[in-house]
Amino acid sequence: DAGITQSPRYKITETGRQVTLMCHQTWSHSYMFWYRQDLGHGLRLIYYSAAADITDKGEVSDGYVVSRSKTENFPLTLESATRSQTSVYFCASGLLTDTQYFGPGTRLTVL
């Protein structure tokens, strides 16, 4: 029972490169979310999805793109990485929005 997984767990990239962070859940949860966590800012919502092919922006969506062609996958793409996007990224899923189950996180460093 894998639950929710993220890959890679660690990533170092350079400014201007495209980066894709993967998220996969085995529970068939309808909702999936991407958050970033930075010191002093807590958890901030980047994008979320209520179902396959339905996505919506969160509070810090600029510079990010998501897709959800299958219920179980919710990849997050940084189109042209910037240093300000250095962060820990968490994916989460849930049946409804009242309980969220988080993945282990991806630590991204943009040089």
Partner 1 sequence: GQQVMQIPQYQHVQEGEDFTTYCNSSTTLSNIQWYKQRPGGHPVFLIQLVKSGEVKKQKRLTFQFGEAKKNSSLHITATQTTDVGTYFCAGPNFGNEKLTFGTGTRLTIIP
Binding residues for partner 1, per CB under 8 A? 33, 35, 42-45, 48, 50, 56, 58-59, 90, 92, 96-105
Q: How far is the CB of 26 from partner 1 (least distance, A)?
A: 16
Residue closer to partner 1 by CB (options 57, 83) is 57
Phi, then psi, of 30 in degrees rounded to 5: -70, -45
Q: How far is the CB of 12 from partner 1 (least distance, A)?
A: 18
Q: Which residues contact 42 (CB under 8 A, 6 or more apart)?
A: none
Residue closer to partner 1 by CB (options 16, 104) is 104
Residue closer to partner 1 by CB (options 45, 52) is 45
CA dihedral 7, 72, 65, 10 (to 10 degrees): -10
